[in-house]
Chains A and B, each alone.
Chain A
Amino acid sequence: MIRVDNLRMNYRSGGETVAAARDVCLNIEQGQFYTLLGPSGCGKTTTLRCVAGLEEPDQGEITVGDDLVFSSTSGAWMPPHRRNIGMVFQSYAIWPHMSVFENVAFPLVNDGKRIAHEEVRKRVHAALELVKLESYVNRPAPHLSGGQQQRLALARALVGEPRVLLLDEPLSNLDAKLREEMRIELRDLSKRLNVTTLFVTHEQLEALSMSDVVAVMKDGRIVQSGTPAEIYAQPNSAFVAQFIGRTNLLAAQVKERAADGSQLLVHTAMGPLRSTACGGGDHVVIAIRPEDVELVADGEAGGENVFEGQVERVIFLGECVEAHIHIGPQAFTLRLHPSQAPRSGERLHVRLPTGRCRALPAES
C-alpha cells in the first residue's frame, strides 16, 4: 500500500545542512499497522510528513496505493489533499473556530464529489460513534478535553474512509491511563476498518503493543525492521537492543568461534562467556535482557556462563523487582519475580543462558 524508496531529505538549520532522512526504504502492506520508532531527530516524523505530502523530499520515490505521489526522477508530485489519506497530528490540530461536527465534516465537504448533506451527517455521526464522541457533536471544539480532542482528530482522519491513516505521535500528550486505553482502541480501530496505518512514536511500549511491523530509526536511517517479537528478541545492534526494552550491554572480545559460526566464546570483564553469534568482528557487545538472566543456587557456581555478583540495590516495580548487581567491575541489571527478590548487599549467582546472549557488533 505504501512504498518508500531511497528517501532523502535535508533541511537547513542555522546555516547548516542536516540530513533528516537518508535512503529510507520501506514497504507497508495493505491493512498493516506499521510503526516508525526512534529517538527525537531520527527522521521518523520527516518520513511520515513526506508520505503525507507536507514535505517535499530531496530525492526518492513514494507510492501510495496505485499512485506515484512523489518521484525525484520523474518530477511527479501529488499534493496532500489528493492523496486520500487521514492524518492525526501530535497537537491534534483541532480547528478552534469550528464545532465538533464541522471539524469532522470538513474532509467530506472538501471532497471533489458533492456529497449530500444528509449523507455527510450520517458519516460524521458514524465516525464520532467510532471514537465515542457522538454526544459532543455540536460542542465548540475548544471545549473538549485533551483526550476528547485526540479522539476528535481521529474521527476527522477516518471519516473520509482514507486508504492510509497517518499518526504523528498522537498519544504523547495524553496521561498514562488514557494512553493505555487509546493504544488498544487505536489498534482495534485500525484492524476493524482494515486501513493501512503508519504510526510514528518514540515510545517503544506503544510500538511493541500496537504494531504489526516496527521499524527502528536512527539518524535518518531505518536500522532494523521486523515484528515486535523479532525486534525485541533479536535486536541486530546495540542501539536497537538498548532502545527497545532494557538491555545489559557487555563489551567483549572474541576468543573462539564455533565451527558452524552460531556461537562464540568471548572474554568479558566478568569472565569468559559463551554467546550466540549475531555479527560483528573481533570486538563485540553482548546483549542480554534483564529478565532473561536466571538466578542459580550456589551449588551451580562455576558452571558455564555462571557468575557471582553482589547486589547493590533492589528496586520494587510492582510486577517485578529490578536488582542492580556488580559482577566484578561490571554493572548488571536483573529482573526477577518479587518472590525472588534478593536483599541489598547479598551475594548471589546468576546464569546468562547462551541462547539469550546475543553478540552484536561493537558500535564505533
Chain B
Amino acid sequence: MKKLFFQVAMTCAALALPGAGAKAAEMTDELKALAAAASKEGRLNLSWSQSSLGGSQGASRIEAAMNKMFGSNVKINFAPGAEMARIANQLATEFQAKQQASVDVYLGSAAQIAPLVTFNMFEAPDWKKFLPERISPEYVEVENQFVRVVTGLSGVTYNSQLAPSKPTTLADFLKPEWKGKVASTPYAASFDVLVADDVWGKDKTFDYVTKLNKQLAGLIRCGDAERIATGEFVSLVMDCTGQDALIWKERGAPLAQMVPLDAAQQRYYYLGVPKNAKFPNAAKLFSVFMMTEEGQKIAWDTWKADLHTLPGSQIGKQMQEYYAQNVKFKEVTIQWWLKHPEIDEHKRELIKIVTTK
C-alpha cells in the first residue's frame, strides 16, 4: 500500500515537473533501453574542433543536460580535435587497420562523410524509434547511418564596418572597390558545391574563381574569422558555414554574414556512430539528445546553428527571410554529394587557382 502510494506520488510529481520529468515519462522503450545501456558504458569519447558545438565547455553542458533528461549517467571525455576531414580520415584509417575508433560520435558534413560511405563503417540503428516525434525519416541518410543535427548556411563573412558596400551576391566581390580586401581559404571552402554540375557547374565556377583570384589578398582558415574583424581582410569568400560570423557578432565584433542570393547553399551537419566505437550506446544517446529541443537549444547557443526543419529553429527563421526574397537554397546532402564525383577533381583545380598569385 505504501509502495503504491509512493509510486503514484512520484509519478504525479514527475508529471508535474516541466522539462526533464515530462520528457522522462515520454521516453520510448527503445530510448529507455538505450539510456540504460549508455549508463552501463558510463563514458563517451568525443572530439571535434573547439569551435564546434562550443567545444569542451559545450560538451560539459550537453553532458549535464543529457544526463538530466534521460536519467543516464554518462561522462563525456572531450578532446579538442582538428578539422572534420582530419577526424574522418583518422576514423577511416583506424577502421581499415581494424582498431578501435578514437571517437565515438562523428560530426561532419556531406563533404567529409561522402568519401566514408564506401567503407560502410558506421552503425545504422533505427533512429526514429528513439525520438519519433522529432526525428523524421528524411533526417536520416544512407540507410540510417547518419542523422542530420544542424543546418549551416554557407556564404561570406565580412566586416560590416569596413565593407565598401553591402554585398548581396557573390558577383559583388568582383567589383573594383573590393580589390585587395578579399580573403579565401586554402581549401576553396564552399566552392565545392558550386562547382557541381547541377549548381553553377565547372565553367561558371572556374571563371568566377579566376576573377576572384585577382581580388584576393591572402588566405586564412575558416576559423580565422577574427582576422576579418581586425580589418586585415574585409571579407572571406567563401566561409565554410556562417556560424562564426554570428558567434563573433554576439561577442561584439563588427562581423556579418552574407548568404549570396546567387549561390545559396544549405549544408547539413550529421552525427554518426562508428561501428568500432568504444562506447556505441552512449554515442547513440548523445546523438538522440542533440535532436531534442534542449539539445537544439544548446546547439544554437554554442554554435549558432540548429536544424532548420525542427520547430523553433532559429536558422529556420533566417531562412524564412531569405525565402521571402525568393532565394533558392541548394540542399547539400550526402546522397547528393555521392551523385557528384566531379566535385573532388574540380576542387583540386580550384585550390590550385586560389593558391597561385
CB atoms of A and B under 8 A apart anywhere in the complex? no
What residues of chain B have their CB less than 8 Å away from a CB belonging to chain A?
A: none
